[in-house]
Chain A
Amino acid sequence: MAKIKSLDELRRIKTSASDLTAARSSNAVKVIVGMGTCGIAAGAREVMDAVLKEIDKRGLKDVSVQTTGCIGMCQEEPLLDVIYPNKGRITYGRVTPEDVPRIVSEHVVNGRIVEDLVIARVDD
């Protein structure tokens, strides 16, 4: 452990440590992956994996990732929802791990909905 020799260094540690507790505060953007039985069968675990990797790669802090159970659209699995503040809830269907980087960079980071993958939307 390197010694902290100034207040600036302390603040740098704070920034790098902040994702330690970030998941415990209410975050700005939510990504929700459907993990019902058929979701998992259709590959939701791989999608979840890809989401976490992408978020890590980009060092995003204000994102929370959750799972949810069956929402009754099993034929469209894997399902991935993004809740962006003031933009309602968008559901993407038949998501593959390859789609994930696009959804994260467009929607999660920039707030632009990836229209071609959307299957449902709920306004706030």
Chain B
Amino acid sequence: MYRAHVLVCGGTGCTSSGSHGVMDGLKSELKKQNLDDEILVVQTGCHGMCEMGPIVVVYPEGTFYCRVSKDDVPELVEEHLLKGRTVERLLYTGEGDVHVPHYSEIPFYSKQERVALGNCGYIDADKIEEYIARDGYEALGKVLTSMTPEDVVEEMKTSGLRGRGGGGFPTGLKWSFCAKSPGPKKYVICNADEGDPGAFMDRSILEGDPHSIIEGMMIGAYAMGADEGYIYCRAEYPLAIKRLKRAIDQAEEYGLLGENVLGTDFSFSLHVKEGAGAFVCGEETALMGSIEGRRGMPRPRPPFPAVSGLWGKPTNINNVETWANVPSIIRRSGAWFASMGTEKSKGTKVFALTGKVKHTGLVEVPMGITLREIIFDIGGGILGDKKFKAVQIGGPSGGCLTEDHLDLPVSYEDLAKAGAIMGSGGMVVMDEDNCMVDVAKFFLEFTQRESCGKCVPCREGTKQMLLLLKKICDGDGTMEDLAQLEELAHMVKDMSLCGLGQTAPNPVLTTLRYFRHEYEAHIKDRSCPAGACQALIRYRIDQDKCKKCGLCAKNCPVNCIDGDRKTQFVIDEDACVRCGTCYDKCPFDAILKL
């Protein structure tokens, strides 16, 4: 019996901040103190608070330690594990410098509802027994022994679960199409490509709870009559791939995966396919082409994968988070899942909260929660107490929403109405220093680069749009350019072959809708209101604040600041290259950014 469990986060974030060292240090320190058979050290997946990592949680108390380093280990063992005294300085520090010892009391977690992430950060992803101890494979046993495939599809319909990969198509309905497709050979696929920049929801589930995906896929395979599956995971996720492969091996060893699962006549085999990590390979038809060994390029639909998918066979493809929700739905019922969320958006959704918020990280919240609650209650508000300006939702296919939308409930319908999309769950918060034209340019640069080039509107259209955006950011844009940008945006949206091109203009269209004045300021006044577009910034010296220290002149790389201690310091604006050095160096804030 272990009296205490020490959970060390082994997610990608914490690993990069040194959790392996903490883990090794703990093991050797426990041995030294003869505590190694009383205390178990467990490596878990991501807790969502990666920015505060490495995270260490001690049970049974549930004490939550952050930013633990290797050097803290001896104290942690001596004080907490041996003597039962909390190490205050390593606790999470909340509002007003108050230490918060327990997981459950940290505001970051208090509004969260963890279903897809339920086991992440709680179990050792490398031990199938830990998954089983948490009711793992129970749902699979339930469907194989007491439900017909039709029952399973019905239960999924009842749950109201919609695909978490971006489109939000009802999962039960999609399964019913594939289930109805005739044919002895069918496939199920897990889309673990996760191409959105800044997104890491899927990666965290793959790393922290791989068995939930395997179990979900098997339940789906049973419901649709498939006997083989693929997990398509980008090669940039080595830890996820390692954990997945180990999970598959363990499930096979236990006979939970393979021939005649749990003594029934259901058989299933599962493969991991490593993708090269191109954004367009996340698109389902391109993804299947890539598994088949072709170049990942979309093809027109129909035929839909449910009719003719992988190698021409009926195929069902779902996102990682979608599959991960399946076991809980079967175990706890579709009605239970449907009790969370809104009328048409049921259950919970995982978001990767990033940008200018105090607490970035991974959050899972019930649908219907407002953006304000996510950004201010969970995320702790804007960094440096600046002013909130916008939130970009849905990655490069999404849109920017404004302060007026903060009380909008997060649901597929409400987001779409406002011009954004749920997408896969990227959420980038922006403050007053972010220029919205620049933000639109950033996302368009991404999609333009990732366009597979197969169809003209996407290939050429995004390129032209990007050129226009660059022109505007450089202060050379005209109102005709703006009109042309808008026209092109609509054209690319309507005429592209696949979702990449169809959604690429979204960031431009929403910023035009809500921040048109910023575009106009760039064009008419040749100024960037946020002070972000380098070409449009002017630096000038505020003579009242200037103490004539001369630091700016000394640091200016092009020597365009003239003056001496007796007269004045003045910037030659024509020679200035707008590097911002003087602005950063001036100790008296006397440099004005205009």
Contact = CB atoms under 8 A, between A and B. Distances in A.
B557 to A, nearest CB: 56
B130 A35 contact: no
B129 interface: yes
B82 A67 contact: yes
B83 A5 contact: no
Contact of A24 (B3, B5, B127, B263): B5
Contacts of A23: 2-5, 40, 59-60
B60 A24 contact: yes
A5 B3 contact: no
B555 to A, nearest CB: 54
A41 B478 CA distance: 82
A59 B94 CA distance: 40
A69 B129 contact: no
A13 interface: yes
A19 interface: yes
Contacts of B85: 68-69
Interface in A72-101: none
Interface string A45-64: 00010011001100000001
B133 A10 contact: no
Contacts of B7: 24
Nearest to B38: A52
Contacts of A14: 132-133, 135, 138
Query: A-B pairs with the 5 shortest C-beta distances?
Result: A67-B84, A3-B255, A65-B3, A7-B141, A64-B60
A43 B521 CA distance: 76
Interface string B1-30: 111110100000000000000000000000
Given A32-B84, A35-B83, A55-B1, A27 B60 contact: yes
B262 interface: yes
A119 interface: no
A48 B85 CA distance: 16
Interface residues of B, number: 38
B1 A68 contact: no
Contacts of A67: 81-84
Given A7-B145, A14-B135, A23-B2, 8 more contacts: A10-B132, A14-B133, A14-B138, A21-B133, A23-B5, A65-B4, A66-B4, A67-B83
B141 A13 contact: no
B84 A35 contact: yes
Among B1, B4, B122, residue most surrounded by chain A Cβ atoms (within 10 Å):
B1
B6 to A, nearest CB: 10
A74 to B, nearest CB: 13
A19 B255 contact: no
A6 B133 CA distance: 16
10 contacts: A7-B144, A14-B138, A20-B133, A21-B123, A21-B134, A23-B3, A23-B60, A48-B3, A65-B3, A69-B83
A15 to B, nearest CB: 9
B103 to A, nearest CB: 11
Nearest to A18: B133
A6 B1 CA distance: 28
B122 A68 contact: no
Contacts of A21: 5, 122-123, 130, 133-134
A61 B123 CA distance: 18
B467 to A, nearest CB: 55
B159 to A, nearest CB: 22
A68 B4 contact: no
Contacts of B59: 23-24
Nearest to B133: A17
B574 interface: no
A68 B38 contact: no
A52 B5 CA distance: 14
B312 to A, nearest CB: 34
B256 interface: yes
A10 B130 contact: no
Given A4-B254, A23-B59, A35-B84, A17 B132 contact: yes
B133 A5 contact: no
A4 to B, nearest CB: 5
A120 interface: no
Contact of A66 (B1, B40, B60, B253): B60
Contacts of B253: 1, 3
B135 A5 contact: no
Contacts of B82: 35, 40, 67
A3 to B, nearest CB: 3
B129 A13 contact: yes
B200 interface: no
B60 A6 contact: no
A7 B145 CA distance: 8
A14 B134 CA distance: 8
Given A7-B262, A48-B38, A24 B83 contact: no
A110 interface: no
B331 to A, nearest CB: 12
A26 B102 CA distance: 12
A64 to B, nearest CB: 4
Given A10-B138, A26-B60, A5 B262 contact: yes
B262 A4 contact: yes
A81 B133 CA distance: 29
A55 B256 CA distance: 32
Among A13, A18, A30, A67, residue most surrounded by chain B Cβ atoms (within 10 Å):
A67
